[in-house]
A and B are shown apart, each in its own frame.
Chain A
Amino acid sequence: MIAPHDDLRTPHDDLLAPADKPLAPLPARRDPRGDIVLGAVVIALFVLGVWLVARLPAPGLSWWTVAIAATCSSACGLVGCYLVLRKMSLLGDAISHAVLPGIALAFFVSGEITGVPIFLGAMALGVLTTLLTQALRDYGNVPEDTGMGIVYTALFAAGVILVQVGARQVDLDPGCVLYGMLDMAALNTTRVFGVEVPHSIVTLGIALVTTLAFIAALWKELKIASFDAGLATAMGFRAMLIHYLLMAVVAGVTVASFEAVGSILVVAMLIVPGATAHLLTDRLGWMLAWSVVVSLLSALFGYALSRWLNVNVAGTMAVVAGTQFALAVFLAPRHGLLVKWLASVRLSLRIVGEDVVARLYRHEEAATGAAFDATQGGDGEPQSVWQRWRRSWAIASLVNSGLVRRAADGTLLLTAAGRQVGRSIVRAHRLWESYLERHFELPLDHVHEPAERIEHYLGPELQTQLAEQLAEPEQDPHGRAIPPS
């Protein structure tokens, strides 16, 4: 019925694939080497981080602090993945600030600084922020980002005022609200099942478990609502409802994290692990797993760094997370800049090599018998060091792969395999020239250069199509024979 692969255009990406090679067969799995290296690096980093922390003074306290930091950043990182995927990173920022008045009000009502009322207050404000932003957009004609900027700053400011008013009676420190006090968190302990544990780890542990349960229970609903909200709604999963639930969870996690990292740096914990994870994988499950890895490494190295520099832990955690993101941008196995750069170098080597083969083929075709130096550039144009180096490299790999051999006097000659490749490239070139002449009405002296570029991308299948469309031409516009395939 539908022929598979018919619109798959993969330029054969290995150096000089034989001309009769069919379109690249599809690998069931992609090259795992990058992932294996990445895994090894991550394990080594974990060992290094654990070793660093273990060498710090007062290891007991250190481990509790690291555990609090890790729980906090993992919970944030997991829920943050969905913010990143839904392109709502700034909504996370907004919510993390806007929950403050909810916390303050809940505190005034309940008189408790922790506990369920605080979470309910925060979650209500989280949903309210989302609602207000949407209402401003829909009914107030305020663009979404402007609305968000107004709503969250106003709510946050109201929260700061409430906290300052409240702080006259109680110990609610605005500095702690902004930056958190992870260093102190491990000292404030409570007894759970007869074990003395920091209070924060209980709160954050509940937040982490709740987040995991939320994601596990609504795994497919979150996936479809994040990917295709229209279809989700059309199927009866109200995308808006899922959106509000997610925002409530974001608000809850944010509040649980306040004591540890404060309301400003919690944004880094929400967004950076997810953004980094997205660069490292292209499966949702793995993305969540990677976000936890990034969070854990941030906690380990952030804590070690903060002890070493004697500064706020949340700050160093955010810096470590940001560093991991920067590394991922450059070194990610599939989407990293380094891999893309290497691929483009490989492609340019292939093109240079094919040009050499094509020139040798044309020389043979002309059969002048004159000596011919294919090691030089095409039109005698001056060449940079990089171009000369690239040409030598390309020729060396041509010799290596048996397409070209060196004669006794050092000149290059095509082998039988090389001749086939050369014929295919020249055929592609001349077919494309004919196509341009037919359809573009270009003057004859304009068709060579475009064909010189396109010839490297016309595989056997496209060549056949072109030849069919042009009614099997025998000559190109310059009157040269088009070699058979």
Chain B
Amino acid sequence: MSVLDIHDMTVAYHRRPVLWDVDLVLEEPRLVGVLGPNGAGKSTLVKAVLGLAPMAHGTVRVFGEPVERVRKRIGYVPQRESVDWDFPVSVLDVVLMGTYGRLGWCRRPGPRERQLARECLAKVGMEDFERRQIGQLSGGQQQRTFLARALAQQADLYFMDEPMAGVDAATEHAIFTLLGELRKAGKTVVVVHHDLRTVEQYFDYVVLLNMRVVAAGPTNGAFTADTLRRTYGGRLSMLEAVGDAVEARERA
């Protein structure tokens, strides 16, 4: 049973495909880097798997089941800019949100969840900050808070959308140490990542994306000068043209 099986997935916004015919199978636990230029559809891929972006076509199965049935086993770290950091909640409140999924509707987190949330905060070195309002944190601390929240989800498959955006080198290294531990514990972590220099150091599997999957596979085979050139060497003009045509037809 594969961890993640994306079959022929196309994602379209306003009918215009932005991610074409993605086929991606992760057979075993991996630490996956999703790489590609701006606008390549990296976040879109993650959102479509989670049902947050409209899938025009295709199927996604996680642990052999439809996503809807295994949501409790999937963790998610959205982009840091996607939330309002002035929101009146403390660091501990945010981490506790990680436990909501397992609690289900209407049940409130209790002492057990609090204990778990504190342990997760300690794992990212933020235990002294639990009472702080989240807007008072630095960028790196906010990212760690999000990571602690993901840990509190106790998932088996994680999606993290640019968890390294706006963090210093020390925090980045520490976060990846933690992700490596998750990986060793048999979890799969899919990370949208920007920095090509650190790819070989951090990931054992890469997905190179530019509106379609250019290459996917274990890092030492798929992360080559050739695949990088194909990924970052501009958009495929044909995909642009066909996208334009689809959009124009569907609009008319």
Instruction: Answer whether residue A33 sits at the interface, using C-beta atoms and an 8 A cutoff.
Output: no
Given A1-B125, A224-B97, A230-B47, A283-B88 contact (CB < 8 Å) = yes
A283 to B92: give the CA distance in the assembly, Å. Answer: 11
22 A-B pairs within 8 Å (CB atoms) are namely A4-B128, A5-B128, A9-B138, A28-B131, A85-B84, A85-B87, A220-B97, A220-B103, A223-B97, A224-B100, A227-B94, A228-B78, A230-B50, A230-B76, A230-B78, A231-B97, A233-B50, A233-B52, A234-B71, A234-B76, A282-B88, A287-B88
Q: In the complex, which residues of chain A have a beta carbon less than 8 angstroms from the beta carbon of B78?
A: 228, 230-231
Contact B71 A236 (CB under 8 A): yes
Give the nearest-CB partner of B132 in chain A. Answer: A26
A228 to chain B, nearest CB (A): 5
Given A1-B178, A4-B127, A284-B88, A236-B106 contact (CB < 8 Å) = no
Mark B217-245 against chain A: 1 for CB-CB distance below 8 A, else 0.
Answer: 00000000000000000000000000000
Q: In the complex, which residues of chain B have a beta carbon less than 8 angstroms from the beta carbon of A235?
A: 71-72, 76, 100-101, 153
Contact B97 A217 (CB under 8 A): no
Instruction: Answer whether residue A452 sits at the interface, using C-beta atoms and an 8 A cutoff.
Output: no
Give the nearest-CB partner of A277 in chain B. Answer: B88
B110 to chain A, nearest CB (A): 12
Interface residues of A in 117-153 (CB under 8 A from B): 138
Instruction: Answer whether residue B51 sits at the interface, using C-beta atoms and an 8 A cutoff.
Output: yes
Q: Which residues of B contact A (CB under 8 A)?
A: 14, 47, 50-52, 68, 71-72, 74, 76, 78, 82-84, 87-90, 93-94, 97, 100-101, 103, 105-106, 108-109, 123-129, 131-133, 135, 138-141, 144, 153, 167-168, 170-171, 174-175, 177-178
Contact A220 B133 (CB under 8 A): no
Given contacts A1-B123, A221-B100, 7 further A-B contacts (CB under 8 A): A4-B127, A6-B168, A29-B131, A220-B109, A236-B72, A283-B89, A284-B88
Instruction: Answer whether residue A210 sits at the interface, using C-beta atoms and an 8 A cutoff.
Output: no
Give the nearest-CB partner of B124 in chain A. Answer: A2
Contact A227 B83 (CB under 8 A): yes
Q: In the complex, which residues of chain B have a beta carbon less than 8 angstroms from the beta carbon of A223?
A: 89, 93, 97
A99 to B35: give the CA distance in the assembly, Å. Answer: 48
Contact A219 B76 (CB under 8 A): no
Instruction: Answer whether residue A441 sits at the interface, using C-beta atoms and an 8 A cutoff.
Output: no
Contact A221 B105 (CB under 8 A): yes
Contact B100 A220 (CB under 8 A): yes
A237 to B103: give the CA distance in the assembly, Å. Answer: 11
A3 to B174: give the CA distance in the assembly, Å. Answer: 9
Q: In the complex, which residues of chain B have a beta carbon less than 8 angstroms from the beta carbon of A232?
A: 100
Q: In the complex, which residues of chain B have a beta carbon less than 8 angstroms from the beta carbon of A1?
A: 123, 125, 174, 177-178
Q: In the complex, which residues of chain B have a beta carbon less than 8 angstroms from the beta carbon of A8?
A: 138, 141
Q: In the complex, which residues of chain B have a beta carbon less than 8 angstroms from the beta carbon of A237?
A: 100-101, 105
Contact A234 B138 (CB under 8 A): no
B6 to chain A, nearest CB (A): 16
Instruction: Answer whether residue A97 sits at the interface, using C-beta atoms and an 8 A cutoff.
Output: no
A206 to B133: give the CA distance in the assembly, Å. Answer: 34
Given A26-B129, A29-B131, A230-B82 contact (CB < 8 Å) = yes
A286 to B93: give the CA distance in the assembly, Å. Answer: 14
A29 to B170: give the CA distance in the assembly, Å. Answer: 28
Contact A231 B76 (CB under 8 A): yes
Instruction: Answer whether residue A56 sits at the interface, using C-beta atoms and an 8 A cutoff.
Output: no
Contact A234 B100 (CB under 8 A): no
Interface centre among B82, B100, B123, B177 (most CB of A within 10 A): B100
A266 to chain B, nearest CB (A): 24
A283 to B96: give the CA distance in the assembly, Å. Answer: 14
B23 to chain A, nearest CB (A): 22
A394 to B177: give the CA distance in the assembly, Å. Answer: 47
Contact A228 B141 (CB under 8 A): no
Q: In the complex, which residues of chain A have a beta carbon less than 8 angstroms from the beta carbon of B51?
A: 233-234
B170 to chain A, nearest CB (A): 6
Contact B171 A7 (CB under 8 A): yes
A221 to B101: give the CA distance in the assembly, Å. Answer: 10
Instruction: Answer whether residue A218 sits at the interface, using C-beta atoms and an 8 A cutoff.
Output: yes
Task: Pick the contact of A227: B97, B105, B108 (CB < 8 A).
Answer: B97
A35 to chain B, nearest CB (A): 14
A223 to B108: give the CA distance in the assembly, Å. Answer: 12
Interface residues of A in 202-240 (CB under 8 A from B): 217-221, 223-224, 226-228, 230-237
Contact B144 A2 (CB under 8 A): yes
Task: Pick the contact of A228: B14, B97, B103, B105 (CB < 8 A).
Answer: B97
Task: Pick the contact of B128: A26, A221, A284 (CB < 8 A).
Answer: A26
A233 to B78: give the CA distance in the assembly, Å. Answer: 12
Interface residues of A in 76-100 (CB under 8 A from B): 85, 87
Given A224-B100, A235-B100, A2-B125 contact (CB < 8 Å) = yes
Q: In the complex, which residues of chain B have a beta carbon less than 8 angstroms from the beta carbon of A219?
A: 108
Q: In the complex, which residues of chain A have a beta carbon less than 8 angstroms from the beta carbon of B138?
A: 7-9
Instruction: Answer whether residue A278 sits at the interface, using C-beta atoms and an 8 A cutoff.
Output: yes
Contact B133 A282 (CB under 8 A): yes
A237 to B51: give the CA distance in the assembly, Å. Answer: 12
Give the nearest-CB partner of A141 in chain B. Answer: B14
Q: In the complex, which residues of chain A have a beta carbon less than 8 angstroms from the beta carbon of B125?
A: 1-4
B26 to chain A, nearest CB (A): 18
Task: Pick the contact of B88: A29, A217, A278 (CB < 8 A).
Answer: A278
Give the nearest-CB partner of B104 in chain A. Answer: A236
A236 to B144: give the CA distance in the assembly, Å. Answer: 23
Mark A418-447 against chain B: 1 for CB-CB distance below 8 A, else 0.
Answer: 000000000000000000000000000000
Contact B84 A87 (CB under 8 A): yes
Task: Pick the contact of B87: A26, A227, A233 (CB < 8 A).
Answer: A227
B43 to chain A, nearest CB (A): 10
Task: Pick the contact of A230: B52, B94, B124 (CB < 8 A).
Answer: B52
Give the nearest-CB partner of B108 in chain A. Answer: A220
A306 to chain B, nearest CB (A): 32
A395 to B170: give the CA distance in the assembly, Å. Answer: 40
A4 to chain B, nearest CB (A): 4
A195 to B240: give the CA distance in the assembly, Å. Answer: 73
Give the nearest-CB partner of A335 in chain B. Answer: B86
Instruction: Answer whether residue A348 sits at the interface, using C-beta atoms and an 8 A cutoff.
Output: no
Instruction: Answer whether residue A485 sits at the interface, using C-beta atoms and an 8 A cutoff.
Output: no
Q: In the complex, which residues of chain B have a beta carbon less than 8 angstroms from the beta carbon of A226?
A: 87
B201 to chain A, nearest CB (A): 17
Contact B168 A4 (CB under 8 A): no
A26 to B126: give the CA distance in the assembly, Å. Answer: 12
Instruction: Answer whether residue A464 sits at the interface, using C-beta atoms and an 8 A cutoff.
Output: no
Task: Pick the contact of B170: A6, A9, A236, A284 (CB < 8 A).
Answer: A6
A2 to B87: give the CA distance in the assembly, Å. Answer: 26
Mark A3-21 against chain B: 1 for CB-CB distance below 8 A, else 0.
Answer: 1111111000000000000
